[in-house]
Structure 1
């Protein structure tokens, strides 16, 4: 499996945090690639040999918008696989798509549901494109089209709030964030539900979990208790409960599961 993390083109860097591309043409059995909560909604293009999937109900749309997810989402793959995921900044759903972010929490929608993608046959263009560069150009063009349509739709207050929470790996006081923005607790709650899709507290917990997940995935630890304490968990049991909530696995079970994905 070949995985690339691509820096977004400057033209879309204000909307897209990062781009992840996964390619594999050696999966001879069905495999499940989980999408785990990381605080970012995404536009994901996927090509796989759906005809090889054992359960037809697992056939997936090839171009999907994912909102914030607090539960793992399973991508079923088999045979030739290409996945291009554009991870949007947390506050971008409302700005780019003009809908309340809460409506998309733990939900995925075929992008053809939106006239903005359907009118330019984006899915068909991506499926017909031969090279990765061409597909990235198409995705970039679509992002810019959305940005132009809803400009100026970015809420700077919620952008600051999400940036502050992410920078502090979810461990910043929400009262401090409210004071910095001169807003009440209820106002901050409403803004997060409208623009991000989850409460400020839940978003903070996702950021905290994601920080721990990155440390584990990069094998930057000796003891599990070190990961717990370095990421603000009270103890190892607290870390394990968080992992089970967001992945359905304990940390060690998750690492074992991830290592079994075909290479």
Structure 2
């Protein structure tokens, strides 16, 4: 059973805004039948601290999340499975380059995977986790502690070769909904294709082409879920997908549903929007 989640958002310190999108507390109450949450590629990583002793697992790789972890970039759909119980996550939703800057680790090493923060950073992590655990009933204090830990990470020197150019490239791709040619991105950022790809892998975890695909597919997904259109095929062509069969296969690998299924689920919940496709 898919699980509904309750979320509480917290204000973000201005110094973290270049690297973190939002701080959020997520709470799940799982009944005796268990349940799951589907996750899919979104173009960024997530830093999470799990307050409870029972840890969720990736159903299809049979591996539990560490208590304090970084989930890297995803290139396909996954499912988090939860056994019965209550779960609370303190999370920092990162910018695409945020994990590299804050954790000083290559991002291509953890694509489609997650890693315990203690495997990246040795000093002070155990003490931080112990302190967080004492704040299980104080969500605001827990989030402030996580924020202070992130601010401390900003003080740690990181190699920033071409980081500004990669940040600029991400913003260009985002603004163009993932359809701008790589050659034009190189021209606008002033770096070669080989340099762009090398630094993208290190700092984002993906090639510029894959990152662009994820942004473009997410834009299609958001349009199908919330946008205005007559039929889902029009949305596909709007974002420059011309091989429909190939697009449907890739879309399902990202989201576990076909575009038609997304469209029909919206029809069922909101009434007729157009052709069911």
Give your verdict on TM over 0.5.
yes
Alignment CA distance shift 1:21-1:223 (3 Å): farther
Q: Which range is displaced more, 98-107 or 200-209? A: 98-107
Corresponding residue of 1:66: 71
**TM value normalised by structure 1:** 0.83
Alignment CA distance shift 1:127-1:69 (3 Å): same
CA–CA distance in structure 2, aligned partners of residues 257 and 27 of structure 1 = 24
1:118 shift after superposition? 4.3
Alignment counterpart, residue 164 of structure 1, candidates 165, 172, 192 = 172
CA–CA distance in structure 2, aligned partners of residues 196 and 52 of structure 1 = 25
> For structure 1, which runs of at least 5 residues remain unmatched after alignment?
259-263
Corresponding residue of 1:103: 109
1:223 shift after superposition? 2.1
Alignment counterpart, residue 146 of structure 2, candidates 139, 144, 168 = 139
Corresponding residue of 1:261: none
CA–CA distance in structure 2, aligned partners of residues 257 and 127 of structure 1 = 40
Structure with higher Rg: it is: 2
1:86-125 matched pairs, under 5 angstroms: 86-115=92-121, 118-119=124-125, 121-125=127-131
Aligned length: 256
3-state DSSP of counterpart to 1:81: strand
Corresponding residue of 2:47: 43
List 4+ stretches of structure 1 deviating above 6 A: 254-258
Corresponding residue of 1:234: 242
Corresponding residue of 2:275: none
Alignment CA distance shift 1:45-1:161 (3 Å): same
**1:96–1:153: 8 Å Cα contact kept in structure 2?**
no
CA–CA distance in structure 2, aligned partners of residues 163 and 126 of structure 1 = 34
Alignment CA distance shift 1:201-1:245 (3 Å): same
Q: Report which structure shows greater RCO (CA 8 Å, sep ≥6).
A: 1
> For structure 2, which runs of at least 5 residues remain unmatched after alignment?
267-277
**1:208–1:232: 8 Å Cα contact kept in structure 2?**
no
CA–CA distance in structure 2, aligned partners of residues 4 and 220 of structure 1 = 29
Are 1:13 and 2:17 counterparts? yes
**TM value normalised by structure 2:** 0.80
1:188 shift after superposition? 0.9
Alignment counterpart, residue 188 of structure 2, candidates 180, 184, 206 = 180
Alignment CA distance shift 1:200-1:7 (3 Å): farther
1:207 shift after superposition? 0.5
CA–CA distance in structure 1, aligned partners of residues 9 and 220 of structure 2 = 19
**2:49–2:69: 8 Å Cα contact kept in structure 1?**
yes
1:146-225 matched pairs, under 5 angstroms: 146-150=153-157, 153=160, 155-218=163-226, 220-225=228-233
Alignment CA distance shift 1:88-1:235 (3 Å): same
